[in-house]
Amino acid sequence: MKRVLDCIRILAEARKQVPAHLLMVGDGPESSPAERLAHDLGVDRHVTFLGKQNHVERLIPQAHALLMPSELEGFGLAALEAMACGVPAIATNVGGVPELVTHGEDGYLEAVGDIAAQSARVIGLLSDAQLHERMAKAARHTAVSRFCTDRIIPLYEKYYEEVMLIN
């Protein structure tokens, strides 16, 4: 579902044009295949497999981009967390992610499995400092202005009140 192997393929493609390093956070059944693929593609020195982390909020700000090539995604909380840290997401156009990311403004949305398009986005953000800065600021602005608790909680409360009145 998360398409972890796509992250390795995206890195391999991006490294053909720009220096890049991938931090892989989390563990699961795709961890070992991802390590094998990184070795097979010759990028194993450029991937750090961190496993499960309790404080990803300390890692996210170190990134230039968040790769989220998921086949299925609910709300896309990881993308929102990255955007709140000023890290643009390169994600797939699935689930609730299009509600968060405005393509070309505060991140990118590409088709599931489109390694070429996703790696091109990585290359763009790593090779164009002005583009990265603009998108990082826009990502942070989106997270703060559209999804801050001061704005979201009243919307939930209003919805709950409406639902309670209907019943």
For the segment 41-88, what is each residue's pLDDT rounded down to a tens digit? 999 999 999 999 999 999 999 999 999 999 999 899 999 999 999 999
- Spatial separation of the C-alpha atoms in residues 92 and 69, rounded to whole Å: 5
pLDDT band at 108; cut points 50, 70, 90: very high
Domain range spanning residue 11? 4-166
Could you report how far apart the first and last alpha carbons of the chain are, in Å? 37
- In sequence order, the 6+-apart residues with CB closer than 8 A to the CB of 51 are 25, 26, 27, 31
pLDDT band at 162; cut points 50, 70, 90: confident
For the segment 1-37, what is each residue's pLDDT rounded down to a tens digit? 899 999 999 999 999 999 999 999 998 889 999 999 9
Instruction: Give Cα separations from 36 to 5, 57, 98, 123, 139 (angstroms).
Output: 10, 28, 32, 24, 33
Q: Tell me, what CATH number does 14's domain have?
A: 3.40.50.2000
Supply the pLDDT for residue 159: 87
Query: How many domains are there within the chain?
Result: 1
Strand partners, 66: 89
Mean pLDDT of all residues belonging to the chain: 95
pTM score above 0.95: no
Supply the pLDDT for residue 117: 98
pLDDT band at 153; cut points 50, 70, 90: confident
Rg (CA), the chain: 17
